[in-house]
Amino acid sequence: MGRKKVLVTGANGQLGSELNDIFKDDSSFDTHFLNRQKLPLDQPNLIHGVLDMYQPDIIIHAGAYTAVDKAESEAELADKVNHLASEQIAEYCTINNCRLIAISTDYVFDGNSSEALKEDAKVDPINTYGVTKLKGEQAIQHFCPDAIIIRTSWVYSTYGNNFVKTMMRLMNERSEISVIDDQIGSPTYANDLAKAIVDILNSKDWISGIYNYSNEGEISWYDFAVAIKEIDNLDCTIHPIPTTSYPTPAKRPKFSLLDKAKIKSTFGVEVPSWRHSLEKCIDKLN
């Protein structure tokens, strides 16, 4: 048996970049990273042709339209990328006997829960991004029932644009900032998620279905910002504000804490605490 060929979509995203770092040091897979130039997810009709050129054994579908607020005015584009492209990838995987791990989001939920969400909790997205990601999930499950779908939340990394880097910049520029304190969840360090995905690939069992992954703990965006300030020794006053004081084009779920028991028990995946991972990321950024 030769090395398994792994193809990663969304090569330049936070997760794609972290996977690239991990696979660079891992010669057990033959990896190909496709950015939006090589695999235009906004042109679903081209996807089969591109994938045929690579003939992967496994696809990690990390590419997505993730501009949550912009999606409200670009619903058709978000649907092409998050839903129709996922459908094409899922269809390709089934036809070509290729395994699929696809990344989804906590935004498939309405945010009205008060306890950590299990994989079978009721879905009811409250913004366009969430709707397109849910339709993508449903298409994947329909066309490729053997797929593994991982829902994650509040992703950050040393790569790309994210909350951690924005907060560090703002706290260096300003003496005070305001951050929302009534949206609850847990952040996900993309490097941890990338490691979890590699653990699944190395696992002897392939057990399809939906799984949750975010770091351990339960915090608000305000708590997250305060921790960033403490860890990076920044001098800035942070004011907690309600969501109502910071209106955005897209509504956000108020509560989207994910229950990680299933991924831990099924694949033996480790889930570090959010604070420990945040320290690691800020240390790397500095």
Residues with a known catalytic role = 129
H or E element at residue 241: strand 237-241
Q: What are the C-alpha distances in Å from 95 to residues 34, 102, 146, 183, 184? A: 21, 17, 12, 41, 40
Comparing CA positions, the residue from 71, 86, 32 lying closest to residue 55 is: 32
Contact 139, 87 (CB under 8 A): yes
Beta bridge partners of 185: 219
Tell me the pairing of strands 188-189 and 58-61: unpaired
Contact 214, 156 (CB under 8 A): no
Give, to the nearest 10 degrees, the angle between helix 163-173 and helix 274-285: 60
CA 170 to centroid of chain Cα atoms: 24
Counted residue by residue, the chain has a size of 286
Q: What is the largest CA-CA distance in the chain?
A: 59
The amino acid occupying position 261 is: A
Query: How far apart are alpha carbons 99 and 6 in whole angstroms?
Result: 9
Q: What are the C-alpha distances in Å from 255 to residues 2, 82, 110, 168, 272? A: 45, 23, 8, 24, 20
